[in-house]
Structure 1
Amino acid sequence: MNYETSTIAADEHLALPGGEVDRRSRRRRLYIALAIGAMLAVGILWYAMAGSRGQETLPKAAGARSQQIPAISVAVPGRDTVRSIINGTGSLAARREMPIGIVGEGGVVTRVLVEPGTWVRAGQVLATVDRSVQVQTAQSLAAGVEVARADARIAQTELDRALQLVDRGFISRADVDRRQATRDAARARVSVAEAQLAEARARNQRLDIRAPEAGLVLARAVEPGQIVQGGNAVLFRIAAGGQLEMLAQLSESDLVRLRPGVPAQVTPVGSSTSFEGQVWQVSPVIDPQTRQGIARIALPYDPALRPGGFASARIMAGASSSPLLPESAVLSDSDGNYVYIVNARDETERRAVTIGEVSDQGVSIASGLDGTERVVLSAGGFLSPGQKVQPRTVSLQR
C-alpha cells in the first residue's frame, strides 16, 4: 500500500505545471535568504554589544592599574641645629665638704650654737667645751707673769743703784756685773711666763669648735653634755661656700664627648624644677667593673638641692647642623639603618644613613642625606627599591 501511495505522489508531482514549480523554488530561496539575514543581524548585534562591553572594561582596567600605585607621604627635611644631649643620673653632694672636729684637749660640750642648714662665716663658733679648769690654769699663769715682771723691776732698780755707787768706790765692778745678770734673768723669766700664759690662752681658744671657712652646715654629730676628745671624730660637716654638685655617672663613650665648662640641667628626683649648672670636672679614670666614670656638675646653692639626694642631668655636649626625621622614617635591617627616598621619576630608592642624636624631636641623620631629598615618612617597610609611588609632600612639625 505504501508503494502505491508513493507512486501516486510522484505521478502527481510530475503532473504539476511548470509555473507552480517555479513559485515553490522562489519561495524556498526567499526563506533561505531571510534566515541568512537574520543570522547576520544577530551576529552584528552581538559584535556591537561585545565592543561596548570592551570599551567599558578598558577604563576600569586602567583605573585598577592606577589604584595599585600606592600614595605615600614624603617630606624634605632640610637641615636643623641639633643639640647633642647626654643624659645621666647620679647623686647630689657638696662640692667641697669639710669635716670639722675638735683640735684641743677636749672635754664636756657645753653649747652647740648651729643647726644643719645654718650659714656660718669663717671663724664662727659652732660649739663650746667646758673650760673651767683651763681658765683657772690661765689665771695662775697670768699671776706668774706679774710676779716675774715685779722681780724684773727690782733687779733693774738694784742695777741702777749699783751703777751709781761703783763710781764712788762703794762697790766693786764685779757686784755690778752680778746685778746686771740678775736683771737679765728676771727679764727672761718674764718672757717665759708670758709665753706660758699665751699658750694656755691659745689652748683654751681651741676648745671652741670653729668654722674654718664660710659655708653651709650640712650635719652635726654632737650634743651638749657629750664628752669629746681631740682626734678623728667629726662633729660637723660644712659645704664650703654653700657650693653643691652632682656626681653624674656616664658611660665611657659619653665622657669622651665632654669638656669642663659645658652647660647642664639638673632635676632632683620628685621635683619638676631644673637647675642650671656646668661641668667643672670630668673623671680621669673609668671604673673597670661598671665601665662608667663621673662628670661633676657644679650647682649654686638652693634649698631644693639636698646633698645625698638622687637627680638626673641633661648635659649639652655640643650642637651640629643635620637633617632631622621622625623615627617612623628610619628603618633598619641586617645591613644597617636606611631610609626610602623618592626620585624625580616618582620611584623609591633605598639610602643607607648613619644615625646621630635621638631625642623627642626626632632622629638626626649624621650622614647619608643632605636634607634636599624627598624622604618617605612612613610605610617604608612595605616598599621596595624601584617601586612606582604617588608622593604627597607634607611639612614636618618641629
Structure 2
Amino acid sequence: MRRTILALAALALLALTVWALLPRPVAVELARIGPRTIDVTIEDEGLAEIREVFVVSAPIAGRLRRIDLQAGDPVVAGQTVVALLGPLAPALLDTRSRAVARAGLAAATAAVELAQAQVAQAEATLAFRITEADRAAALFERGTISRHLLDLAQLERDTAAAALDSARANLAVRDRERDSTAALLNGAAADGSDTCCVELAAPQSGRILRVLTEDDQVVAAGTPLVEIGDPADLRVRVDLLSRDAVRVRPGMAARIAGWGGGDIPATVDRVEPAATTRISALGIDEQRVQVLLRLDGPPQDRQALGHGYRVMAQITLLTVPDALSIPVGALLRDGSDWATFVAQDGRARLRTITLGARNDMAAQVLDGLAPGDLVLLHPSDLIADGTAIAPSAGP
C-alpha cells in the first residue's frame, strides 16, 4: 500500500512538472472584422482669413488726426469716416530767409499803396471825363459843337472807366501778393482753425480689423492707416504638401476643427497651381501648395472664429461606404505583402491580405478575410504562426 501511494505521488509530481514546462497561451487583444464607412482624408494646419481685407492708406502726405476707432468697431461703406488728414505745417525759415521774406512783405505793401493811389487817380479822372461828356452832350443838343467833339468826349469817358477797372484789378493783385508774402513769413494759424482736412471714408461695410497708425502724427503718402474687413466673409487657407495637393479637387468636402469651437463643414474652393518652398521645423525644404476652403453651414456657428485664427483642416479625398475594414493596429508586413494574425481554434494564424482604401484608423480589405473574423491587435514579437493565444478581453 505504501508503495502504491509513493508511485501515485511520483506520477502527480511528474504531471505537474510537464504541465509547468508546457508553453502558455499568449494573452492578446482581438477585434472583429466587419463593414464600416472609410473616409480617406488629408489633415493639416490652416489659417482662417477674411476673403477681402481693405487697407485704408493716406492718399497724400499730411498730418493725421488721431484715429478714435478701435479694432472691432463697425463701419459703413462710404459713410463712416475712418481718418482725417490735414495739411502739413509750413517749413521753418532761417534768419536769412526770414529777412528776405520781410523785405518782400515791405515791397508788397508799397506796391499795394501804389496801386491804391492809381485807383484814386483813375477815379478822379473818370469823374472829370463823365462831367466833360455830359457838358459835351448838352452843347451838342443846342448845336454849339459838332458830333465829332461829342464822340471824342464820350470816348475819353469810357477810356477813363476802363482805366479805373484796370487800376482796381491791379490793386487786387497787389493785395494777394502781399497776403502771400505775409503767409510765408507768418505761417499757418497756430490752432489750425483755418485748415481743412481730407476725410477718408470706409471703402466697405464691416468692422475695423486693425488700427495700424493711431496717434496724431505726420504721415507720408501711402502710409497704411487701418484694415477693414467683413468677419462674416471668412475662408480657410491651408498649405498642403505638393504630393498631397495633387489629390485634392475643388468641390471636395472638408471639415474645420481645432479652433476652440465645434467642427465646421467646408468645401474645397480652389487649389492654387503654383507651389512655394517652405522650410519645416526640422529644417527640411518642402514644396507647399495653398488650398482655399469655403466655409459652409450657418454663420452663427462660427461667430467666434476670427481673422488670422489657427485651425485644423481635414479634407476628405475618398469615401468608401460598407467597406470590409480592419483596424490599422492589426496590420503587419510579410515581405512585400500586407498580412494579419487571425484567431483560429485558440491559435494565431498568419494570413496574407489585400488592402484598398486606408486612413489612420482602418483599412479596406479586398481579399483574405471574411466578415466576422477575429484579428489580433498590436501583435508582439511573441506571436508567430501557430502560437497559442488567449483573449485578454472580449472582442
* TM-score (normalised: structure 1): 0.54
Q: Is this contact kept in 2: 1:340–1:376, CA < 8 A?
A: yes
The SS at the match of 1:245 is strand
Larger relative contact order (CA 8 Å, sep ≥ 6): 2
What value does the CA root-mean-square deviation take over the aligned residues? 4.3
Match of 1:207 in 2: 198
1:297 aligned partner? 293
1:329 matched residue in structure 2: 330
Q: Distance in 1 between matches of 2:312 and 2:350?
A: 41
Contact 1:246 1:297 survives alignment (8 Å): yes
Is the Cα–Cα contact under 8 Å of residues 254 and 313 in structure 2 kept in the other structure?
no
Answering whether residue 199 of structure 2 is matched by residue 244 of structure 1, we say: no
Larger radius of gyration: 1
Match of 2:55 among 93, 99, 118: 99
1:1-398 alignment, distance < 5 Å: 74-103=30-59, 105=60, 107-110=62-65, 112-124=67-79, 125-130=81-86, 207-223=198-214, 225-228=216-219, 231-240=221-230, 242-261=232-251, 262-268=253-259, 272-274=260-262, 276-278=264-266, 279-288=268-277, 289-299=285-295, 304-321=304-321, 322-332=323-333, 334-342=335-343, 348-354=349-355, 356-359=357-360, 362-365=361-364, 367-372=366-371, 373-379=373-379, 381-385=381-385, 387=386, 389=388, 396=395
CA contact (8 A) 2:50 2:231 kept: no
Contact kept in structure 1, 2:87 and 2:196, CA below 8 Å: no
Q: Which has the higher helix share?
A: 1
State whether residues 107 and 130 of structure 1, in contact with CA within 8 Å, keep that contact through their aligned partners in structure 2: yes
**Could you report, residue by residue, the CA deviation over 1:88-133 in whole angstroms, capped at 9, with x for unpaired residues?**
1133432222222244x5533345352222221211321223489x
Q: CA separation of 1:114/1:50 partners in 2, compared to 1, >3 Å: closer, same or farther?
A: closer
Q: How far apart are residue 79 of structure 1 and its match?
A: 1.5
Structure 1 residues 286, 334: closer, same or farther in 2, change over 3 A? farther
Report if aligned partners of 2:38, 2:357 keep a CA contact under 8 Å in 1: no
Distance in 1 (alpha carbons) for counterparts of 2:288 and 2:27:
48
Shift of residue 375, structure 1, vs aligned partner: 1.7
1:337-360 deviation per Cα after TM superposition (whole angstroms, max 9, x unaligned): 42112457966133245485444x
Give, in whole Å, the separation in 1 of the partners of 2:376 and 2:5: 46
In structure 1, what residue type is equivalent to 2:264?
Answer: E
Q: Which runs of 5+ in 2 are unaligned?
A: 89-194, 278-284
Q: TM-score, with normalisation over the residues of structure 2?
A: 0.54
The structure in which a higher percent of residues are strand is 2
> Aligned pair count?
272
Q: Aligned equivalents of 2:42 and 2:54: distance in 1?
A: 31
User: Which deviates more from structure 2 when the two are superposed, residues 330-339 or residues 80-89?
Assistant: 330-339
Q: Is the 8 A contact 2:27 2:391 kept in 1?
A: yes
SS in 1 for 2:258: strand
Cα deviation for residue 273 of structure 1 reads: 2.4
